[in-house]
Structure 1
Amino acid sequence: MTQSFRLSFDASVARRALRQAAARGLFLGAEHVLGVSNDRVPLDEAALQRSGMASVDEADLTAMVSYDTPYAVRQHEEMDYRHAPGRTAKYLENAANSERAVVFALIAAQMRRALR
């Protein structure tokens, strides 16, 4: 007995689901980096820490973590400033570098979930 099958596959549905999953993963990764960075950000009155924000540009699949105070860049770049224990300059850069593997894992998990 011979059977025949016809399979129709619309790749645009899979592409769209994977793109949305990648954006979700990027946002989760950016939020994770923000959390780690907030644990390292110089702390005086916590204005700098509260100004931290994570966002994703879904069109470009780009994640951003930023701090929005007039002195955020100076605090980040000035290596000679004294900070409380555990707080440091390069708080965002170091967090992004140290958490790279976690961010990749978060993105991969979201994409795997979309393929189920």
Structure 2
Amino acid sequence: MAAVPQNFRMNFDGGPAAQELRTAAARGLFLGAEHVLGLADEVVPLDEAALQRSGTASVDEASLTAMVSYDTPYAVVQHERMDFRHAPGRTAKYLENSLNAGRTTVHALIAAQLRRALR
């Protein structure tokens, strides 16, 4: 008995899957930004802790961009001025160094959210 060829037609609507992956990527970016913020909070210069308390992490899901920021009038100066003296364990470049130190973990957090969305 000869096999009868069969034809199949399938329509795939990838829109919902793409949206789920985008949402997962945004969630991973936010977790990554929160991780970097936590690292930065450990080394951000302290006086009365106003700078540390002003730290925030956020994500723009439309552009898939994560932001970590400190919102005081002197945040940029404290970050950039390498000649300032800080308490032990506190340093300038608190954001830049924290991002570089946390890069591998941030990648892993994003990847984990994407894998979860693909289940």
TM-score by length of 2: 0.92
> Is 1:33 aligned to 2:36, yes or no?
yes
The C-alpha deviation readout for 1:21-62, integer Å capped at 9, x for no partner, is 000000000000000000010011100000000000110000
Q: Give the Cα separation in 2 of the matches to 1:38 and 1:7.
A: 52
Instruction: Give the one of 78, 83, 86 matched to 1:80.
Output: 83
Match of 1:61 in 2: 64
Match of 1:109 in 2: 112
Q: Give the Cα separation in 1 of the matches to 2:45 and 2:28.
A: 28
Structure 1 unaligned residues grouped into runs of 5+: none
* Structure of higher CA gyration radius: 2
Q: Give how far 1:6 is off.
A: 5.1
Instruction: Give the one of 86, 90, 96 matched to 2:93.
Output: 90
Count of residues in correspondence between the two structures = 116
Q: Give the Cα separation in 1 of the matches to 2:8 and 2:43.
A: 59
The C-alpha deviation readout for 1:74-115, integer Å capped at 9, x for no partner, is 000000111111100000000011111110110000000000
Q: Which amino acid aligns with 1:28?
A: L
Q: Give the Cα separation in 2 of the matches to 1:24 and 1:5.
A: 37
> Is 1:49 aligned to 2:52, yes or no?
yes
Q: Give how far 1:8 is off.
A: 3.6
**C-alpha RMSD over aligned residues:** 1.4
